[in-house]
Amino acid sequence: MTAARPPTPMAAGAVPLERLIADAPPVLDVGDNLDQIQQGRRVVLLDDDPTGTQTIADLPVLTSWSVPDLQWALQQQTTGFFVLTNTRSLSETDAAERNRQVVDALHQAATAEQVSYVLASRSDSTLRGYYPLETDVLSQELAARGTVVDGVVICPGYVEPGRLTIDSVHWTRTPEGMIPVSQSEFAKDASFGYRSSDLRDWVAEKTGGRISRDEVATITLTDIRVGGPDRVGEILAGLRNGRPVVVDTVEDADQQVVVLALLHAEAAGKNFIYRIGPSFVRARTGQRPTPPADAQRLRQILATQPTDTDDTRPATKHGLITVGSHVGLTTRQLDRLRDRGKIIELELDVPTLLDDSARDRHVNDVAAQSAKVLQNNDAESDVVIRTSRTLVTGDDAVSSLVIARTVSAALVGTVREIVSQIRPSFVLAKGGITSSDTATVGLGITRAWCRGTMLPGIISLWEPVTGLAQGIPYIVFAGNVGDDDALVAVIDTLRSI
């Protein structure tokens, strides 16, 4: 039996998921493979923005890749950990160099700790990011240290928000149904846009024809659900010289089959790099979906934090929410939060931020206003710092990235000014680049634990170990996840602490 052939990715209109999988084989459940994962190589997840943590719980997160920080993460008794590279916000040259730096430091740390590892290049479930640049660089760096990569496993699936791959075609869920991802707003991204939904064509497109469609191997739902780990293992065994293989995903169980086959192949001496979305992270670290955090869970995290007697900042019962994402979903979620009430919004005007002579004064003014509002414990308002909603882009991908970086730097600079004066009850950052820069620059976090999610399978809850946010729940909220009411739901939980 073979999976139903989806309508061509060029077809207009949404398709019910039930139609796409009507003839697919039944799911094959091989479990979470935790015993085998614990015996295998440690998976080091190089995350091009911090939202890859939104499917797991109780894994370390680094925003620094110094050898001591990497040794700390390797010393934790976990199946893997994240290194937040934030490369999606960098230029190609800087993204490549950052990957080289991480591999060099990781190799030193792993050698010192005598830990074997496998690299996962965690990127966007809607196909944005530096592919093939990052996997190419990682392959070169591993080869220079004696590890020749046999295959690149491409598995962007993210089950909860409906980013699924069927017969190698990648789909995304909308309120009207499933659409090929190339028809989504994400495919029009100013920096990382694309035309192809079939991942074989996408590889050919992104490599500029260096790798043709026919050279891309496939692992289909039939391979996974009928052939099981043995059939997937045969496909993996046939990979040589960094050949890409694209993986179908509809359920978590599909990826668990693939992970089991990968573990067997790696134990036999094969070497892979994973280019993956958030769901694969959960499968490869041996985790199952965990219940979202509630007020009790948040209080437990706060209770375990040591008291910093040198911290003289006044605490407030109000939270700080920072919004940088411009996708339509974020705008709708922000509208719902306005309707909910109990917020005061302060806007960073993007054209002013792009004016070198006016930027610093504008940031300082907004930060001062925000701190004043937060210090008023008699009020019932959280503070929302947002950029103006009119999207400003450059003439090309490079200039668009420069604009995005300038705006993000101003936004997180505002956060830093606020949090240096006062301790909010929580900090929530909306948007991939925004949440990364808020963590590293705004809050000074170098080490943290991801403690779970705020909604099922989405929206990370971090427990910072270092920086201005130590002891303050930090919420990493991607721009492209959740329904229109998701932001309201998360804020309601945070307000109940």
Residue 1 in domain: no
Residues 279 and 409 in one domain: no
Residue 273 lies in a domain: yes
Which CATH number characterizes residue 221's domain? 3.40.50.10840
Answer yes or no: do 133 and 251 share one domain.
Answer: yes
The label of the residue with tokens 């170990």 reads 465
- Can you tell me the distance from the alpha carbon of 461 to that of 454, in angstroms, rounded to the nearest whole number? 6
Domain match, 405 and 483 both: yes
400 plus 490 within the same structural domain: yes
In DSSP notation, 443-485 reads: S--SEEEEEEEEETTEEEEEEESSSTTTTS-EEEE-TT-S-TT
**Residues 302 and 263 reside in one and the same domain:** no
Does any domain span residue 8? no
Per the CB < 8 A criterion, the answer to whether 186 and 330 are in contact is: no
Q: Is residue 114 part of a domain?
A: yes
Task: Give the span between the Cα atoms of 173 and 63, in whole angstroms.
Answer: 31
Q: Please work out, in degrees rounded to the nearest 5, the angle formed at the alpha carbon of residue 343 by the alpha carbons of 341 and 345.
A: 125
Hunting for tokens 């939202």 — which residue is that?
A: 51
Same structural domain, 276 and 305: no
Nearest residue to 183 via CA among 204, 169, 166, 168: 169
- What is each CA distance from 363 to 28, 368, 486, in whole angstroms? 54, 9, 28
Look-up: residue for tokens 């089991």? Answer: 260
pLDDT in tens, the chain (497 residues): 444 444 444 445 799 999 999 999 999 999 999 999 999 999 999 999 877 898 899 999 999 999 999 999 999 999 999 999 989 988 999 999 999 999 999 999 999 999 999 999 999 999 999 999 999 999 999 999 999 999 999 999 999 999 999 999 999 999 999 999 999 999 999 899 999 999 999 999 999 999 999 999 999 999 999 999 999 999 999 999 999 999 999 999 999 999 999 999 999 999 999 999 999 999 999 998 889 999 888 888 777 766 666 788 999 999 999 998 778 899 999 999 999 999 999 999 989 999 999 999 999 999 999 999 998 877 789 999 988 866 677 768 778 878 878 888 899 999 999 999 999 999 999 988 788 889 999 999 999 999 999 999 889 999 999 999 998 999 999 888 899 999 999 999 999 98
Residue 6 lies in a domain: no
Domain boundary among the residues 260, 284, 308 is at 284
- The DSSP code for 44 is E
- What are the backbone dihedrals phi and psi of residue 447, each rounded to the nearest 5 degrees, phi first? -135, 140
269 & 335 share domain: no
N-term to C-term CA, the chain: 51
The answer to whether the beta carbons of residues 320 and 373 sit under 8 Å apart is no
Provide the number of structural domains found in the chain: 2
Two tokens, residue 340: 């909910």
CA angle centred on 219, ends 215 and 221, rounded to 5°: 145
In this structure, is residue 9 part of a structural domain? no
List own/partner pairs for 372-380 with CB under 8 A and 24 or more apart: 373/318, 373/344, 373/346, 374/316, 374/318, 374/320, 374/418, 374/422, 374/424, 375/314, 375/316, 375/422, 377/316, 377/317, 377/318, 379/318, 380/342
pLDDT value at position 194? 98
CA dist 237 and 461 (Å) reads: 38
Q: Is residue 12 part of a domain?
A: no
Residue 257 domain-assigned (yes or no): yes
CATH classification at residue 458 = 3.40.980.20
What does the alpha-carbon distance between residue 107 and residue 143 come to, in Å, rounded to a whole number?
A: 12
Give, in degrees to the nearest 5, the angle at Cα 355 between 350 and 360. Answer: 85
Same domain? For 321 and 225 the reply is no
Which amino acid is it at 199? L
- Do 82 and 141 lie in a common domain? yes
Q: Range of 272's domain?
A: 17-284
Answer yes or no: do 149 and 171 share one domain: yes
Tell me the C-alpha distance between 218 and 42, whole Å: 25
Asked if omega into 132 is within 30° of 0 (cis), the reply is yes
Looking at the structure, do residues 320 and 258 belong to the same domain, yes or no? no
pTM above 0.85, yes or no: yes
The domain boundary, picked from 261, 284, 307, lies at 284
Please tell me the predicted confidence (pLDDT) of residue 408: 84
Same domain, 55 and 169: yes
